[in-house]
Structures are given as structure tokens and as C-alpha cells.
Structure 1
Amino acid sequence: MAYRYKTKGTCSVYIDVDMDGNVLKNAVFHGGCNGNLQGISALVEGQTYEEIKAKLSGIKCGFKSTSCPDQLIKAMEEAMRNE
């Protein structure tokens, strides 16, 4: 299931996630630090929501209360709710 999530509090503007149940098939960040975000996507694709959440949830970017990796978790949660 493809889903577009509008990020909150990060440099990236939105994240396109493609999920198969609770497994992340693909994640594309739009805006933000392109190389780092491509790397994050490559590292977590094929993993379950639970595996990714354990690694990325709660990460902060500088003085912000969230980060692009943290927003990926929120994108996955919203995609699964809207499935």
C-alpha cells in the first residue's frame, strides 16, 4: 500500500511509504538531507514496523523534538491505520 505522509517539524516535506502489511517495502523522503535519507531508507527497507520503531523512534534532530527517522515511524503508523 502506497501512502504519502506530510512531515511535521523536519526539513523533509513529506515521505512516501510503500507497505505490505507491517513491512516497509520502500520509503522516499522529499526534502531534507538527501544522501542521509536515502541511506536510512536503504537500511530499513524490508524490515517490519516493530524492528524499525525499535531503532528509530524518538530520535531528535538538533534542538527539534523530532527527526526524519522519527517521522518515518509516524508515516508507517498512519499508513497502517489507513490500510
Structure 2
Amino acid sequence: MYRCFAEYRIAEENRERYLALMASLKVSHPEMYLYEGTDQPGLFVEVWEAGTKEEADGIREMRLSSESPWSAVSRLASGNVHAWVFRSV
């Protein structure tokens, strides 16, 4: 099992637009889970599950691509979107 994590901060003034955008994107990507930091409001982490390393790497590439529908999320982020792939051990 592999997971791709994407982490970023959303400024308060972008919060409502961001949440609406994520709700619409989640419809076509139910495998993505979204979390917000309890100690750091506005810090979000997406968790994507993947069966193979190749699939997880593809999710990471898609998630960071400026050509992806997800790039709209990146434009709302305060700073960079960071993404990593992890495997279970």
C-alpha cells in the first residue's frame, strides 16, 4: 500500500473558495481524504491511497502539475504545495 500526501496552507481569505473547490474536486476523486490541522487552522493535508508506487508517483505528478484541475488549489495556497509518497512497512 502506498500513500501520497500533499500539504499546504490556505489563507483565511481564501478558505470558503478553497472548501467549495475541494468539494467539487472530491466528487470525481473519492479516494482522496482531506484533513485540516487542529493545532494549525488553515494547514491542510490531502491523503491519496494507491496500490502501487507507480500509481502513487502518478498522483504526486498530477497533484503538482500546473496542467491539472488541482492547480486551482495550488493557486489558492499560501506558498508551495508539498507532496510526498510513502509506503507501508
Answer yes or no: same fold by TM over 0.5.
Answer: no
| TM-score when normalising by structure 1 | 0.32
Q: Which has the higher contact order (CA 8 A, sep 6+)?
A: 2
| TM-score when normalising by structure 2 | 0.31
